[in-house]
Every structure is written in C-alpha cells, then in structure tokens.
C-alpha cells in the first residue's frame, strides 16, 4: 500500500480550490482544450455524439409525469427546448399517442428574457387548493436555487409573491399565505454542510427578515426543515432535524410547541393519516420485541404518542430480500422489495382486523420496477416504471380497490412504452457472484453478446450511502457501448442498499476497505471466468463512484485497462471542508480525527498517487457549477498526476452542477467523450 507522499497540510494545489479564479479557470481551459482536441477528432466521436443526442432528444421518449389533482405534470427537454418546458395535461390526453400539453413555463424563453442560464430544479405545489406553487431555478445546474412563487391558474409568476435569492434553501407551504423557510439568513444561519440550520415561518406580505423562528438546529447538523402534511382531515405540521446523513429527529408542531416522536434517530420515520411508519436501520427493542435492521413497522401515531409501543411488523428482511421503497395510495401501502436485486411488489391494507398483505399481481417480471408516483390525497392510483438492461422502460398505471374492499388486485394499463434505442437481439443478461476477500458473495450483472464475442468490458459500481444499483434500461449506454460490441457490468457492492442497512453498514468509515475489496473481487472474477482481460477492462463511476474508481486507479492499477472518474471525491483530507462535504462525515469519517485519518489516508486517491508507478490511462470529468462535490477534487488529482508524468485527461463543463451537464447537448457531448476515451483505450480499433 502506498504511503502518503505529501504532508497533509502542505498542498501545492490549494489554489485550484478557488472555483472561479482566473488562474484556476485558465488551468481548466487549457486542460479542456487538450482533452477535447484529443478525443473529438475523427468520425467516431461525431457519430457517438449524434447517436446519443438522438436518444436524449427523441420525441418518442416517455414523458414521465406526476399527478397533482386533475393534471399530470411533466418537465420536458428536447432539441428545440434544451432548457425545457414545464407543462401539464389530463389523463385522457396523456393516453393519446401525441397528448395535448398546456405549457406553464418555457425555461429557455425565461432564461433569454432575464439574461440567465436557468436550469429547472422542480416545483412544490400548494395543497389542497393546487392554485400556487414554489418554483426552483438554478444558475447553471447548481444545487443552490432561486425560489419564486407561480400562479398555476394564470400560468405566471406572482408579482410580490414569495421569493428567495440564490441559496441552498428549504421551502414548503403551510397555507396560501404562509411557508416554512430555511435559507441563508446571514451569519450563523447555515450548517457546516452549507444547508439551512434554522426553520422559520414566513407570512405573505412581510419581509423575510421578520419571519418567526420555529426551530434551530446545531451548526454541525446536516440540515433542518419544516413542512406540513396537508392530508384532508389529518393536517399536521412537522420539523425534521437531520443530525447527520443517517440520523434524524422528527417533531410534531402544535402551536408553538414541538414534541419529538421518540424513535431511534437512525430510523426513517414518516406519518400518514393515523399511521406512524418506522423503517429501522439498526436493531430496535421496543414493546417487548426485537426488530432487526431493515424492518418496516407501523403503529397508530396517537397511540404511540400516548405511550403505546407495540408495533405491527409490515416487512422483515431475510438473507436475500430487503425493503427498497414504500409509498401510500389513499387506502393502501405499496411495498417494493429487492430479492437478490430484483424487484418484488406487495400491497398492504390496514383495516378493522389488522393489516392485509398480498402480492401486487400483474406486474411484468423484469429487473426493476420503480414507483413513479402516487397521489394519496386523491385516490388509489399508482404509476410504475418497469425496465431491465435490455428491456426498454414502460410506464404502467393501476388503481387499487377502495378502503372497504381491501382489494389489492387491479388491471394494469401500459400508458407509454419507450422505444428500442439499440438492438438487444443476441444479447444476454446474467447475474453472477464474486467472492470478496472476507468471503462475502458479491453479486454483479453482466450484459454481453450471446455469442461470447470478446469486445471490451465496462465495469461500473457505487458502493455507498445505501444506494442500490438495479437493472435498468439506458439508451445512452446501449448505443454508446452495448450496440457496438461492448460488455457492460454492474457491481452491487457493500456500502450500497441492495441487501438492506447491514449491507451498507458493513462498509462505512473504518470498514470502507470492503467496498474496494468487493470491486476488485468482481474485476478479478470477470477475468477468471474468461469474460475479459485486464487490458480490455475499463471502469467508470460518478460522485462516490468517482471515489471508487479513483481508489481502484491508485490501489489496483494492474486490474484495469482504463479508468473514468466523474464528479469525484478524491482528496479525503479536505473533503469535509469543501461545499457539502461535511454532510458525509457519517459515511467516511472525520479526517481531523487522527484515528479516522489513519484509514482515510490509506485510500485517499489524491494522497496515494505515486511518482514512477504505472497507472492505466484515466479521464476525469467534473463541472465548475457542481456545488455539492467540489471540482477541486478532480482538478488537484489531475495536477498531481501531470506533475508525475502520468497519462491523465481532464474535462470540466462550466455548467451542469453535480450531473456535469445542464442540457441534452452538454450531456451528449460529455458521454461521447467518455465512450470515445473508453473505445480508444480498450479497443484494438483506432479512431477514424
């Protein structure tokens, strides 16, 4: 294992942390010019970019919707509207091949009129009237947004309405004349992670400075926010304090009083109508029973607040199955579970005799079924997306039986189906298992030509924050990689959520080595099975996955032919001091603590690059406007590798936020660069 070669407090590239300084941007421009000049020459790059742009801008893509009252809302980007249209329609219209849409906001026109590079970040609709919403727009795709009130009946911004300047704000409706707001109120109002530390109640027509304080978190918290549950007949106000990434406290607000809901702070807690749901992250002994990590429990909220501690078990995990998601319709609870990383759905219905549990029948047997939307304020409708690596997505609608029937059976209606963006004929998908260093079986999926032809292999993974990577269709990966003869591999590493909280907790802080051991085991297994060779194996990952590929670069360079690291964390000595980094201390540890720095320094890619070591070619991709993971991680890594004479390439998009692209043109260009780099380095074919 490489030793740290530079004292942690003697960093010659700190100046690259000055995001928009001319010196730093001149360096960025020079690196971009080198990489773009190298990778965009020839017909293959132009063909890749054009093919990917066709996927991203295709008119027959599924326009995904969220129901709000009688309308289905959609945000749409295409070649004519690169910044996008926020629009709505009715279900009757949506069923048509070409629905009629009512455009509410044309972001391109708004940006042109206001001289801004607006990027859409969503809207929060006022309930129950649905007359107003709070629109969030960011400059260049950053997490920080401008908030503006919008009238949904008049389709225009409200003059003199609720409005917030650019900040990482939290805002939610109380009623038509009041909102909960957390924002940058000035010194001391943000946490060390850069998110709101104060929740205030702001009344229409009054200055923001006069908003009344409701709750104050601690500076070291991640964030706090207030919100209202507007379910008719069950209206209530709540405040959530996020202590760290995995621990939080939920308070009921009654008048000026706040009462904490007394559940473990590492549990995920929600309320709906009379029910309190608790999803455990660690074992919880309560009411005379021991509940394991990953269980879903229910109790009536009023009873719990009065002291009742007997919980109804709605879901309990086993060695192969974990809870992925749950969501209410008006009368039912839909549960999505992962069984060896494949989705299974059930419907639970509370009634006088207890909870009724049955499968949700009729859902296609594919790799992943994602819950797109429910509207519990309205009815028992639900929208699902089904897809697999080679099965294009379909949007499916169903309506469960009403409260009295308790019926979980429904006829499913396919509303929309995505086109085949690449031919999957002759391709096969299989799930395999590698054995990690400590004996743990690590699943991974392989998508490849059925004839076993030996094209290059691209391996990706994430391994963090309890995020699960499940089989899903990607027209971009399909056209850019699979259709051209490549093999695609997705590794389900510890640190993720594929087998529940324990799968994640096995690989946090001092045990993070297991993520990298798992990934190395998958790479080794691919070679042992004859699927690929080290020289033909490329890896790619973004964000925490960018850290993963950075560690693989410095720790196991012999396993790979090339590396792509996107919007990555790489300097684990200073990550907690940069932008939102402090919010991830619960995942990685605190480098200011000697015992934590001892293990962080062992894998921090920036501190383990060696002079004279042989590394595979690497491409780093990031964004100037990423205000979540600081672009200096990638900048400094590239500077150090260049100092040592390594084969390193760099591209930094000026816009794009954490996604490194603000529109489809930028996204197509970014992925064309990535695929061109991979094909050049892993294929015997030369660029033409």
Residues serving a catalytic function are 543, 658
Torsion sign (Cα): 113, 115, 119, 122: negative
Which residues, in sequence order, are CB contacts of 33 under 8 Å at separation 6+?
Answer: none
211 touches 251 (CB < 8 A): no
390 touches 429 (CB < 8 A): yes
List the beta bridge partners of residue 201. 180, 212
Element (H, E) at 594: helix 594-603
Q: How far is residue 458's CA from residue 486's CA, in Å, rounded to a whole number?
A: 7
346 touches 359 (CB < 8 A): yes
Region for 567 from its dihedrals, namely left if φ exceeds 0, alpha if ψ lies in -120 to 50, beta otherwise: left
Q: How far is residue 551's CA from residue 609's CA, in Å, rounded to a whole number?
A: 10
List the beta bridge partners of residue 106. 85
* 3-state helix, strand and coil shares in percent for the chain, rounded to the nearest 5: 25, 35, 40
Nearest to 294 by CA among 505, 81, 70: 505
567 touches 623 (CB < 8 A): yes
Give the three-state DSSP class for 467.
coil
Region for 679 from its dihedrals, namely left if φ exceeds 0, alpha if ψ lies in -120 to 50, beta otherwise: alpha
Q: How far is residue 299's CA from residue 278's CA, in Å, rounded to a whole number?
A: 9
Element (H, E) at 620: strand 618-623
Provide the 10 A C-beta neighbour count for residue 43.
9
Among the residues of 543-663, which ranges form H helices? Answer: 544-555, 585-588, 594-603, 605-608, 632-643
Q: How far is residue 612's CA from residue 602's CA, in Å, rounded to a whole number?
A: 19
List the beta bridge partners of residue 148. 135, 163
Among the residues of 427-543, which ranges form H helices? Answer: 475-480, 501-505, 513-528
Nearest to 248 by CA among 220, 228, 268, 225: 268
User: Can the peptide bond before residue 423 be classed as cis, meaning omega within 30 degrees of 0?
Assistant: no
Q: How far is residue 106's CA from residue 101's CA, in Å, rounded to a whole number?
A: 12
Q: How far is residue 612's CA from residue 362's CA, in Å, rounded to a whole number?
A: 59
Output the six-digit token pair for 334. 């839909």
Radius of gyration of the chain (CA): 25
Which residues, in sequence order, are CB contacts of 353 under 8 Å at separation 6+?
Answer: none
């Amino acid at each position: 294992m490489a030793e740290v070669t530079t004292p942690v407090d003697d960093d010659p590239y700190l100046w690259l942390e000055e995001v928009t300084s001319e010196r730093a941007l001149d360096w960025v421009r020079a690196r971009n010019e080198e990489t773009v000049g190298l990778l965009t020459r020839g017909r293959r790059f132009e063909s890749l970019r054009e093919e990917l742009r066709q996927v991203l801008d295709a008119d027959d893509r599924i326009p995904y919707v969220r129901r709000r009252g009688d309308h289905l809302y959609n945000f749409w980007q295409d070649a004519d509207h690169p910044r996008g249209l926020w629009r709505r329609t009715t279900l009757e219209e949506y069923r048509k091949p070409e629905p009629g849409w009512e455009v509410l906001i044309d972001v391109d026109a708004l940006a042109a009129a206001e001289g801004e590079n607006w990027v859409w970040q969503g809207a929060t609709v006022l309930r129950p009237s649905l007359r107003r919403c709070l629109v969030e727009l960011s400059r260049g795709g950053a997490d920080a947004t401008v908030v503006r009130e919008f009238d949904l009946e008049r389709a225009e911004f409200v003059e003199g309405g609720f409005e917030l300047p650019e900040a990482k704000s939290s805002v939610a409706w109380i009623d038509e004349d009041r909102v909960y707001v957390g924002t940058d109120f000035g010194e001391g109002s943000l946490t060390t992670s850069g998110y709101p530390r104060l929740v205030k109640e702001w009344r229409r027509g009054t200055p923001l400075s006069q908003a009344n304080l409701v709750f104050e978190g601690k500076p070291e918290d991640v964030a706090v926010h207030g919100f209202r549950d507007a379910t008719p007949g069950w209206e209530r106000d709540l405040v959530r304090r996020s202590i760290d990434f995995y621990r939080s406290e939920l308070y009921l607000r009654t008048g000026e009083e706040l009462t904490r809901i007394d559940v473990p702070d590492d549990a995920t807690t929600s309320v709906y109508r009379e029910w309190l749901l608790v999803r455990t992250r660690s074992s919880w002994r309560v009411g005379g029973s021991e509940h394991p990590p990953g269980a879903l429990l229910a109790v009536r909220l009023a009873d719990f607040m009065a002291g009742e501690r007997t919980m109804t078990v709605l879901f309990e995990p086993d060695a192969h199955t974990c809870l992925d998601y749950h969501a209410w319709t008006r009368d039912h609870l839909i549960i999505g579970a992962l069984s060896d990383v494949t989705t299974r759905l059930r419907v639970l219905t509370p009634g006088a005799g207890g909870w009724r549990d049955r499968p949700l029948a009729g859902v296609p047997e594919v790799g992943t079924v994602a819950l797109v939307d429910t509207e519990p304020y309205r009815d028992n409708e639900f929208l699902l997306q089904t897809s697999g690596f080679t099965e294009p997505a379909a949007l499916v609608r169903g309506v469960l039986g009403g409260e009295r029937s308790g019926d979980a059976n429904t006829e499913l209606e396919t509303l929309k189906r995505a086109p085949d963006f690449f031919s999957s004929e002759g391709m096969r998908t299989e799930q395999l298992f590698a054995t990690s260093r400590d004996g743990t079986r690590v699943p991974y999926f392989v998508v490849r030509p059925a004839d076993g032809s030996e094209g290059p292999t691209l391996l990706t993974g994430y391994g963090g924050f309890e995020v699960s990577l499940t089989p899903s269709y990607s027209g971009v990966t399909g056209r850019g990689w699979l259709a051209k003869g490549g093999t695609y591999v997705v590794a389900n590493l510890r640190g993720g959520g594929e087998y529940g909280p324990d799968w994640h907790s096995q690989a946090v802080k001092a045990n993070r080595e297991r993520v990298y051991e798992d990934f190395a085991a998958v790479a080794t297994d691919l070679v042992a099975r004859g699927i690929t060779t080290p020289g033909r194996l490329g890896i790619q990952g973004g964000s925490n996955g960018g850290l993963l590929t950075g560690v693989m670069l410095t720790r196991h360079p012999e396993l790979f032919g090339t590396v792509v690291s996107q919007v990555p964390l790489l300097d684990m000595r200073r990550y907690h001091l940069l932008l939102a980094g402090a919010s991830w201390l619960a995942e990685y540890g605190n480098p200011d603590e000697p015992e934590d720095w001892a293990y962080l320094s062992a894998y921090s890619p920036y501190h383990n690059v060696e002079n004279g070591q042989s590394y595979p070619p690497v491409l780093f991709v990031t964004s100037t406007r990423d205000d979540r993971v600081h672009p200096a991680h990638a900048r400094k890594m590239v500077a150090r590798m260049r100092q040592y004479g390594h084969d390193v390439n760099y591209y930094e998009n000026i816009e794009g936020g954490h996604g490194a692209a603000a529109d489809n043109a930028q996204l197509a260009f970014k992925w064309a660069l990535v695929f061109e780099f991979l094909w050049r380095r892993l294929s015997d074919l030369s660029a033409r």
